[in-house]
């Protein structure tokens, strides 16, 4: 009798155990599904149209690197570095492609922008001109009396006078005029200006291609070749976001540099992938932008990971911007960046 009772109890208990096991599996699966789909939402401002300089961001999105990092990333075009940095500071975007000049100006006016990784470890700015017989730039004095066309909100408007003074020249030795960025290339080709602002990895290859189509050859003078030791563009967020979401920042930065690694190792594949996303882009120009960006992104790779911001150069950047823009001692170099996500 006792054995029959035990068998009956087992028949009642066994289904309950199976049901409990199934429930546990279902709960685990639900938790896994939820964690897999609860990606952190991130908005990124490119500062301008899609191009080679921001190619690592575009590739990280196209190749699913952000998704692998648990991020739901949306990428949007921007309207200039200074506006981009301010929009990141205002919370319209979590990240942006920005420069230390804009970051410093933002902080000088009470903002909280900061850089968390470098893309251009050297200042990518240059002055472009149309080559002509008998003209060669050996010193900056060869450019005296010329007119430079720059964007209305471009930092070149302030950088130029301070840079000329640093090189022992009058601040107005090269005259700057404010132009809509959309007409700068045309103005140079039509010879309404002698020099145009141009940027490696961005507008420089565009201007070179346009000049070639017009039967001209583009020359260029890099600011860094004449004493401008400044950090260039990189990944910008805010110190508030860093404090509140350090894990999101780490995952975004890591995935982004994974995109730049692909761009560096396989430039043609990168150009094809980005060109597939944006068919209107000229792939030859895009490839040249990628090649130039690849040359700018590395800085002491034997000692530091990609994205490392050199402290001495950030100090020099802060000192120069302070002179050029009259910010005084409001902002210290240490306030502008952190290397903790790339060391």
Q: How far is CA 224 from the centre of its chain?
A: 19
Expressed as residue numbers, the domain containing 150 is 125-222
Are 256 and 56 spatial neighbours (Cβ–Cβ below 8 Å)? yes
For 179-239, give the DSSP string. Answer: E-GGGHHHHHHTTSSSEEEEETTTHHHHHHHHHHHTT--EEEEEGGGGT------EEEEEH
171, 195, 222: which is the final residue of a domain?
Answer: 222
Q: Which residues lie across from 177 on neighbouring strands? A: 149
By CB neighbour count within 10 A (0-12 exposed, 13-18 middle, 19+ buried), where does 97 fall? buried
User: Does one domain contain both 146 and 195?
Assistant: yes
Residue 55 C-beta-side C-alpha neighbours within 13 Å: 37
User: Does one domain contain both 183 and 328?
Assistant: no
Q: Look at residue 301 and tell me if it is in a domain.
A: yes
Number of domains in the chain: 2
Q: Look at residue 14 and tell me if it is in a domain.
A: no
Q: Which pLDDT score is estimated for 330?
A: 83
Containing 310, the helix (H) or strand (E) segment is none
Q: Look at residue 17 and tell me if it is in a domain.
A: no
Starting from the edge strand earliest in sequence, which strands make up the sheet with 125-130, in order?
175-179, 147-151, 195-199, 125-130, 218-222
Q: Which pLDDT score is estimated for 8?
A: 45
Tokens encoding 138: 């050996």
Q: What is the b/e burial string over 170-198, where b = at least 16 CB atoms within 10 angstroms of the residue's CB?
A: eeebbebeebebeebbebbbeeebbbbbb
pTM: 0.87
Helix, strand, or coil here: 30?
helix
Helix 267-277 / helix 246-265 crossing angle, nearest 10 deg = 110
User: Does one domain contain both 110 and 145?
Assistant: no
User: Does one domain contain both 213 and 138?
Assistant: yes
Are 113 and 98 spatial neighbours (Cβ–Cβ below 8 Å)? yes
Q: Look at residue 294 and tell me if it is in a domain.
A: yes
Q: Which pLDDT score is estimated for 182?
A: 87
User: Does one domain contain both 329 and 211?
Assistant: no
Are 312 and 239 spatial neighbours (Cβ–Cβ below 8 Å)? no
Q: What is the spatial distance between Cα 306 and Cα 257, in angstroms, rounded to a whole number?
A: 7
User: Does one domain contain both 214 and 236?
Assistant: no
User: Does one domain contain both 62 and 191?
Assistant: no
Q: Look at residue 179 and tell me if it is in a domain.
A: yes
Helix, strand, or coil here: 120?
coil
Q: Which pLDDT score is estimated for 277?
A: 93
User: Does one domain contain both 238 and 213?
Assistant: no
Return the DSSP state at 337. Answer: B
CATH of the domain at 137: 3.40.190.10
User: Does one domain contain both 95 and 235?
Assistant: yes
User: Does one domain contain both 248 and 161?
Assistant: no
Q: At which residue do the structure tokens 């800085």 appear?
A: 299
**Strand pairing category for 71-76 and 40-45:** parallel
Question: From the first residue on, what is the mean pLDDT of each consecutive set of 10 residues in the chain (343 residues)?
Answer: 46 46 42 58 97 98 97 96 96 98 96 98 97 92 96 90 96 95 93 96 96 96 96 98 98 98 97 95 97 94 91 97 91 96 91
Q: What is the spatial distance between Cα 326 and Cα 323, in angstroms, rounded to a whole number?
A: 5
Q: How many residues does the chain have?
A: 343
User: Does one domain contain both 110 and 129?
Assistant: no
Q: How far is CA 316 from the centre of its chain?
A: 20
Q: Look at residue 198 and tell me if it is in a domain.
A: yes
Q: At which residue do the structure tokens 């409990």 appear?
A: 20
Q: Look at residue 13 and tell me if it is in a domain.
A: no
Q: Look at residue 257 and tell me if it is in a domain.
A: yes
222, 241, 261: which is the final residue of a domain?
Answer: 222
User: Does one domain contain both 250 and 330?
Assistant: yes
198, 222, 246: which is the final residue of a domain?
Answer: 222
Tokens encoding 61: 């999105």
């Amino acid at each position: 009798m006792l054995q029959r009772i035990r068998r009956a109890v087992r028949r009642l208990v066994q289904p309950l155990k199976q049901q409990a096991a199934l429930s546990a599996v279902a709960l685990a699966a639900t938790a896994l599904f939820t964690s897999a789909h609860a990606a952190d939402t991130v908005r990124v401002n490119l500062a301008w149209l899609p191009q080679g300089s921001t190619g690592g961001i575009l590739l990280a999105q196209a190749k699913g690197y952000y998704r692998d990092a648990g991020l739901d990333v949306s990428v949007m075009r921007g309207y200039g570095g200074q506006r981009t940095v301010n929009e990141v500071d205002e919370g319209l975007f979590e990240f942006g492609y920005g420069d230390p000049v804009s970051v410093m100006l933002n902080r000088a006016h009470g903002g909280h922008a900061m850089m968390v990784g470098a893309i251009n470890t050297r200042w990518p700015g240059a002055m472009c001109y149309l080559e002509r017989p008998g003209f060669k730039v050996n010193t900056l004095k060869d450019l005296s009396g010329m007119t430079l066309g720059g964007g209305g909100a471009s930092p070149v408007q302030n950088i130029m006078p301070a840079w000329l003074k640093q090189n022992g020249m009058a601040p107005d030795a090269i005259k700057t005029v404010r132009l809509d960025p959309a007409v700068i290339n045309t103005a140079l080709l039509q010879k309404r200006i002698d020099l145009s602002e141009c940027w490696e990895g961005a507008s420089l290859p565009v201007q070179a291609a346009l000049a070639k189509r017009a039967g001209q050859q583009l020359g260029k003078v890099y600011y860094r070749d004449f004493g401008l030791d400044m950090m260039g563009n990189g990944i910008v967020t805010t110190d508030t976001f860093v404090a509140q979401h350090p894990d999101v920042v780490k995952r975004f930065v890591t995935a982004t540099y994974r995109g730049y690694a692909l761009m560096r190792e396989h430039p043609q594949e990168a150009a094809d992938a980005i060109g597939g996303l944006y068919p209107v882009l000229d792939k030859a120009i895009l490839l040249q932008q990628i090649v130039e960006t690849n040359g700018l992104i590395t800085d002491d790779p034997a000692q530091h990971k990609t994205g490392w911001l050199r402290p001495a150069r950030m100090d020099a950047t802060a000192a120069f911007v302070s002179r050029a823009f009259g910010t005084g001692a409001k902002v210290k170099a240490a306030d502008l960046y952190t290397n903790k996500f790339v060391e």
